[in-house]
Amino acid sequence: MDGQHIPLGISQQKFSKNIQAVTSRTLDLPPSCIEFVPREKAPVELDPSSHYFVIGTYNLEKNDQTAARTAAESEGNDMIAVPPAPQERNGTLNLFSIRADKSLILVERLSYPSAILDLHFIPGEPIFAVASSTGAISIYTFSLVPQTVEIKPGNIGLKAWEWGIRHIKMHQVFATNVLVLSFIWLSYSTTADAPPLLAATTSAGEIYMISFSDWDFTGFQILNDELPINTHDAEAWCCAFCPSTHCLYSGGDDSWLRVIDLNLAALQEPESTDDLIGQANTIRGHDAGVTAILPLPYRQQRMFLTGSYDDHIRLYSWQNSSGCPLPKPREMTKLNLGGGVWKLKFLEDRPMRDGPGGHVKFRVLASCMHIGAKIVEVSLVGGGEWRMDVAAEVNVHESMCYGCDVLPLRSGVKAGDEVVEPEAKSQGKEGAMTVEVDGEEKRNSLKPPSSPGPGSWGGKLSPKF
């Protein structure tokens, strides 16, 4: 591929459909995922003019056999059938900052020995995990790191501190021929020192729950006796967790949406003999693979959004108000976005209203593959009727849009009649948020990342920044 661009898109203060890219930056490899440093841990006091975000990239190295096959096909020639040779993937982690003048600055780039498919910060913490194409999950932190500064004359080497990425630990969770396609962090306990917990989906169509031993991430355990808590008949593309119902959702290439009720008591009590998995449900109704799931934080109804390869975003509602219900959810509305809906994220972390006594509204940022990114408004318009509309869109890519994120509103900023819009940022091949991922080839072997190890910390990693 010929390089990837990361654009920064800005809309007007009063919401406008015209989102323009004001700046962009070419990456070394195709980007696959992106996330801003949590506002709570961003260095606003020390560096108020900058906002930081991390991008993971995915690169598939073509071997000689693939090149020969491509050339033969372009010339209309047949090739003798032979087993495909393994193809290797690699990637990078890129830390960027957005300056006050809207410029994008590459702060740091770390090489990674396999492709990166997903990354997420622990909510409210400077710690994030990376999912790889070789069955590994790596842990990093955003923190001040020492830098060597040369002062002239004399060339005296001194230590300075700059914001950067530090490697904590890499865990080989699955076999090296398994892709960790996605993961989420789970909030399951009110205890501040409860060990970190995540759910991960794989190319084998399986969903696992993984608990880390402590906040140093020195060890891990696959729960449920190391068995998957749910399975799909094809790749499991995504998962999501609803804390209010304790439901874990997963979507697969088999076009199914699966839901299970998690017994959180079994997680909080190590000696508990209760089963981790409770009631289960399978939801049909998608015409292609389910690629995105987003529960809505709306107390009056238990609702969630889904995205699919069939180009639609759908809104579902459970008909009872508590627990993880077995009855089938009702499809409230759907909207054709014109492209596969790969990712869904909220622009705000709470529902909005048009004004005093106005209609409830959510704004969602959707990564829509070959047509770019769209902002969708999900609104309760009265009489129990919901509708979805495209509020804004941007499409400056030449290939697929697989990831986007939004700079969160500062704490204390309230959404109202005139909303100060967050700055939508996206990643992509030409001008925005794109990456092309070819999932047909075999994976390369895992090697240690070329980044600082946990030994450079000199102390215990605390969950508090």
The candidate with the shortest Cα–Cα distance to 345, out of 333, 329, 362, is 362
- What pLDDT, on the 0 to 100 scale, is given for residue 248? 94
Token match 């699966």: residue?
258
Token match 């020192």: residue?
193
Rg over CA atoms, the chain: 22
Beta bridge pairs of residue 220: 212
Residue 153 preceded by cis peptide, ω within 30: yes
- What pLDDT, on the 0 to 100 scale, is given for residue 201? 98
If you ran DSSP here, which 8-state letter would residue 190 be given?
S
- Written as one letter, the residue type at 444 is N
Token match 């990712």: residue?
343
Tell me the pairing of strands 352-353 and 257-262. unpaired
How many alpha carbons fall within 13 Å on the CB side of residue 275?
8
Q: Tens place of pLDDT for every residue, the chain, 465 residues?
A: 333 656 665 544 455 566 777 787 878 899 999 999 987 666 555 566 678 999 999 998 876 545 545 554 555 555 455 445 556 899 999 999 988 888 888 999 999 999 999 999 998 899 999 999 999 999 999 988 776 666 655 555 555 678 899 999 999 999 999 999 999 999 876 666 788 999 999 999 999 999 999 999 999 999 988 999 999 999 999 999 988 788 899 999 999 999 998 887 777 665 555 677 777 888 888 999 999 999 988 877 789 999 999 999 999 998 764 555 456 788 999 999 999 999 999 987 666 765 555 578 899 999 999 888 999 999 988 777 899 999 998 877 667 888 899 875 543 333 333 333 344 455 543 333 322 233 333 222 222 233 333 222 222 232 222
Helices marked H in 54-134? 64-74
Token match 């996206």: residue?
426
Strand spans (E) along 16-74: 20-27, 31-36, 51-57, 59-61
Please give the order of strands across the beta sheet that includes 127-132. Answer: 116-121, 127-132, 136-151, 156-172
- Written as one letter, the residue type at 148 is T
Handedness of CA 229, 33, 20, 102 (dihedral sign): positive
- What pLDDT, on the 0 to 100 scale, is given for residue 25? 81
pTM higher than the cut 0.75: yes
- Collapsing DSSP to helix, strand or coil, 163 comes out as strand
Domain residue limits, the chain: 4-73+82-456
- Written as one letter, the residue type at 435 is V
What is the architecture of the domain spanning 4-73+82-456? 7 Propeller (2.130)
The residue length of the chain stands at: 465
Residues 120 and 127: their CA atoms lie apart, in Å, by: 8
How many alpha carbons fall within 13 Å on the CB side of residue 232?
30
